[in-house]
Each structure stands twice: as C-alpha cells, then as structure tokens.
Amino acid sequence: MKKLFLALTALFITIGAKAQIETHVTWAFAAKKISATEAVVLAKATIDPGWHIYSQTVKEGGPVKTEFTFTPSKDFTVTGKPSEPKPITKFEKVFNMNVGYFENAVIFQQKVKLKSAKATLVKGKVEFMTCNDSKCLPPDEVEFSVAIK
C-alpha cells in the first residue's frame, strides 16, 4: 500500500510540474486583404514585462531567432519574408555579439499572393525563444491558421 501511495504521489508531482511550464509570450494572428489578389498575414506577439523575443535577423551563433514557416498551399504563395519593426539592438556577452530583440509587443507582417477569389486558409508555425536578464527558456513553437476572406 505504501508503494502505491508513493507511486501516486510521484505521478501527481510530475503532472503538476508539467502544468507549470513558463510562457511569457502570447500570439494572436489575423489577416487583411489589401487587393483582390494580395493579403497580409499579421502575427502579434504580446510579451510579459521583463521578457523579450529575438528578431528574425539574428546571426549564426546567437540565440534562436524568431522564424515563420508557412504550410505550402495551392491557394496562395508567400511573397518575400515576413517584415518586422526595427528591433532593440544590444551587445550580449553570452553570445559575444549584437542581437536584435523585441519587448512588450511586436507585429510581424507577411504578404501573400492569392491564387483565387475564394476564401483562403493560411497555415503555418512560428518558432521563437523567450529570455529575460537572467535566463532563456527553451525554444517554443506555435501553430497558426488564419482565414483570408
């Protein structure tokens, strides 16, 4: 009986630990049509105070950069790379380089060329890393699906 109690206790501690995974960034996705054949997919990251995510332009050897991957579709093609505002740039000793990052909130924009007038679903994922002044969390991925009407 004592072994069963210990096994159940260990199980609940493990489940409780998984439920406490740190998340300091929330994502929201939207799209707006800018013409009959073009649209913009918007990805907004809202970042907790004291935390940041990295720019898409971080060089090799630095932290994990923010990266978007779009699922191929017969209904649209991606035009260029996602745009982002000018990041905050700071020298980080741990990487021995200047890195660009965003605090509070940032909106990334991706243009897409529509191949038909019907409603289109744009799917993909964003990979990013969240850090503060004392630690970085493991890279995370968020999948998204946005309707363009």
Decide if 5 is inside a domain.
no
**E strand or H helix at 141, and its extent?**
strand 140-148
Residue count of the chain, please give it: 149
The pLDDT assigned to 38 comes to 95
Which residue is listed with tokens 């946005």?
A: 146
Q: What is the CATH number of the domain that holds 35?
A: 2.60.40.1250
Q: Provide the domain count of the chain.
A: 1
DSSP letter (8 states) at residue 21? -
Give residue 9's pLDDT. 38
| Mean residue pLDDT across the chain | 88
pLDDT recorded at residue 20: 59
For residue 48, being part of any structural domain is answered with: yes
Residue 9 lies in a domain: no
pLDDT (tens digit, 0 to 9) for every residue of the chain, 149 residues total? 444 333 333 333 444 444 457 899 999 999 999 999 999 999 999 999 999 999 999 999 999 999 999 999 999 999 999 999 999 999 988 889 999 999 999 999 999 999 887 878 999 999 999 999 899 999 999 999 999 98
82 neighbors 56 (Cβ within 8 angstroms):
yes
Is residue 13 situated within a structural domain?
no
Whose tokens are 């049509």? That residue is 33
Question: What pLDDT sits at residue 15?
Answer: 40
The DSSP letter of residue 64 is P
Whether residue 66 is contained in a domain is answered as yes
| The pLDDT of residue 117 | 77
Q: Is the CA virtual torsion 87, 96, 26, 125 positive or negative? A: positive
- Give the structural domain span for 26: 22-148
Q: How far apart are CA 55 and CA 51, in angstroms?
A: 14
